[in-house]
Structure 1
Amino acid sequence: MATTSSPRRSGADTPVRGILLRIGSVVMFGIMFAAMKLAGDDGVVAIEMVFYRAVFGMPIVLAWLALGPGLADIQPNRPWAHAVRSAIGLTGITLNFFALILLPLADATTIGFTAPIFATILSALILKEHVGRHRWMAVAIGFIGVIVITRPGGSSGLPGLGIMVALLGALGTSGVTITLRQLGSTETVGSIVFWFFVACAVVGGIGTAIWGSTHGLHTMGLLAIGGVAGAVAQILMTASLRAASVSTVAPFDYLQIVMAIIMGWLLWYAVPSAATLAGAALIAGSGLYTAYREHRLRRDSVAATPPV
């Protein structure tokens, strides 16, 4: 599960276009994760996935910048803030790719969607945002979903290391969400995306030189597909936020769980357990309720604002 900032929209919302773009991003993210997991089956390690995602995705990002906001958009106003965001994001994406290697695709994807739950907790602890009882209830339901999937005690059949890595990856993703809220006030979307890809290429390249190995044409093809799909997904997700509000498009992110289940069945003949499906329903329900609650609070706040 990837995150991005919420770019300022111009003109009236176009919800249908925003939803279609978001669904497109979900499909592309699903292709990326499936391709990376297949590459992992061929012996590719997580840090290599980070590197090749950046290398194969960077031309797509540069083309998007050239055709859209322009290459001047990449100039950072707060370089150290980008460095912090990149460090957190690198940690999170590396752990997410490692979880793909250790867990079935559907389980890794579903546990990854606990990121909004962790983001709620971090927003209260770090940003000192007010979190009401309804959102805390959603957090509790989401964690119950994790318990249902993982069934502490080893009865789930999932490796404990994989579960821990997936949860830490989700925590890293939530940390990115918090930093993007702070970066969004001074930095452009283009600069945030570009410099993160640069950080992934540099750090991933060093890691690949140390822990990587030579791969065949088939495996490199999978990495190329994953890198290109990931970059396209990022751009489509950004475009969806320009077309419609976050509360309109974000709920469609949970289609990624469905995508992961379908991909897992088609590529690995993996049928998710009843516990995975039940836990996914609880986690998705928690996230959807949180999105609905934030939309309602924002709408009520606007309605309560007196006209100028």
Structure 2
Amino acid sequence: MALTSDYALLPSESDAHNDSALDSTKRNTGKLASFQFQLSGLYNRNIGLLSIVASQVFLALVNVAVKQLNVIDPPVPTFELILIRMAITYLFSVTYMKFMGVDSPFLGPKGVRLLLMFRGFVGFFGIFGIYFALKYLSLSDATVLTFLAPLCTSITGALFLGEYVGRKEIFAGVFSLVGVIFIARPTSLFGHSHIPIINGTVLLGNSTGVPLVSEALVNLTSLSNDTLINISNSTLSMLPPSVTPTKRLIAVGVSLLGVMGATGAYTTIRAIGTRAHALHSMAAYSSISVVVSAIGLIATHTPIVIPTSPIWLLLLLEIGVFGFCAQIFLTLGLQRETASRGTLAIYTLIVFTSLLDRIFFHAVPSLLSIMGTVIIVGSALYVAVTKQNQNESEPSKGNVNARRSAAGGHGVEQEILLKNMEEGGREPAIA
């Protein structure tokens, strides 16, 4: 009996197999749990970065829609584009504030209403600058010029808000002007040496910038200086034939006016501080832009273009909806991301615009445009990153200021989302 009992205590072959399967299941479950944990950690560490990148994708798509509407026949006027975009933004902003119970959603808090009005007025010129520039500049060239805003803001902050501006900011600002010149390419400096001559001919493009090989070979001797078209020496893609060097210079000039508008808006936002909600600034910006653009349409006797194609109507809606989505994603990202990583994510905008420029408009930048882009983006990154390093001893204030500088390169709408980021680590209160 004892022998029988002893044998009964020994594990059977079946039991050993079951135990092995159980151990294998536990190991697999452990590996899966570990993988899920690592994936969750990766997501949590980078959700801010991904949100900012998503905002740049939306902004790039907005600019594509604007440029597409600029090349249809007849093109949608710049004032009309701004009116539609800002009307949608105003509707979303006020609706959100009413839903969340924010005080004074229409006029803003007392004591800062004049500042909000001024912020909206100068902000209009910020968006007008890039929308007008998209008529005559490539998507990437028009976008990269907006990266001058943080450099200009450093100067206005020193002049009007008593903020410190060092030699690095001044050096970067002066160096960026070289990049602007490379993008503008004034004929007084460059002549027509950047226009390739292929057997005495130059290739023109149609209204969308697509080369017309069969019918657009024009002898250079038949063209005046004002009608020569800028064509990359390494590519045969370009802007429409109506874009003369003079119009290109005008576009760059208006774009720089837009940079000044964005700088003024950003400086005003800094002056307002936490006395108003971030969406008060958004609502003021959008409402005044609607009024100014409507006045512009009337004063210039510009007829409103009614979309005759469902695609055109979708593009108009895209400008408003995607623009607001970009602002929301930017806010979510800045709430979760460090300044240095946020800066790098924001500057992915130039990558997306260059890619979309190639896909939708068959544009490949010339060597001078690439050099100008590298100079401007490099200067802006240099200022943002070095400022972050200088402020590491003051984590809360430093991160706020660095993130402000990072967002300064994308015109007005991104900066308004950073208004509430003051000492003490307050983040933009939108979502």
Give TM class, smaller chain.
0.7 to 0.9
Where 2:165 maps in the other structure, the secondary structure is coil
Q: Which moved more, 1:108-117 or 1:120-129?
A: 120-129
Give the equivalent residue in structure 1 for 2:58.
28
Instruction: Show the 5 A alignment for 1:121-140.
Output: 121-140=155-174
* Residues 1:253 and 2:346 aligned together: yes
Equivalences, count: 289
Aligned to 2:70: 40
CA contact (8 A) 2:49 2:345 kept: yes
Q: Deviations over 1:82-127 (max 9, x none)?
A: 0000010012211221111121111111112111121122222222
**Cα distance in 1 for residues equivalent to 2:128 and 2:139:** 15
Which residue of 2 is the match for residue 52 of structure 1? 84
Which structure has the higher relative contact order (CA within 8 Å, separation 6+)?
Answer: 1
Name the SS for the 2:391 alignment partner. Answer: helix
Compared CA separation, residues 131 and 84, structure 1 to 2 (3 A): same
Change in Cα spacing, 1:15 to 1:274, as seen in structure 2 (3 Å) is farther
- The aligned residue for residue 10 of structure 2 is none
- Between the aligned residues of both structures, percent identity stands at 27
Alignment match of 2:391 (pick from 283, 287, 298): 298
Partner residue, 1:199: 288
Taking the TM superposition and a 5 Å limit, the aligned residue runs for 1:63-212 are 64-65=96-97, 69-72=100-103, 74=105, 76-77=108-109, 78-153=112-187, 155=190, 157=230, 158=245, 159-209=248-298, 210-212=301-303
Aligned partners of 2:355 and 2:393: how far apart in 1? 38
**Unpaired segments ≥5 residues, structure 2:** 1-43, 195-229, 231-244, 397-431
What is the TM-score normalised by the length of structure 1? 0.85
Cα drift, residue 250 of structure 1: 2.8
RMSD: 2.3
- For structure 1, the 5+ residue unaligned runs are 1-13, 304-308
1:238-260 per-residue CA deviation (whole Å, 9 max, x = no partner) reads 22222234444133222111111
Code of the aligned partner of 1:76: G
Query: Which has more helix, going by share of residues?
Result: 1
| Shift, 1:128, TM fit | 3.0
1:232 equivalent to 2:266? Answer no
CA drift at 1:181? 0.9
Deviation at 1:66, TM superposition (A): 5.6
Q: Cα offset for 1:161?
A: 0.6
Distance 1:282 1:295 in 2: 20
Contact 1:48/1:207, CA 8 A, preserved across alignment: no
Amino acid aligned to 1:179: T
Contact 1:44 1:212 (8 Å CA) reproduced:
no
> Which of the residues 93, 97, 114 maps onto 1:61?
93
Distance 2:255 2:76 in 1: 18
Query: Could you tell me the TM-score, scaled by structure 2's length?
Result: 0.62
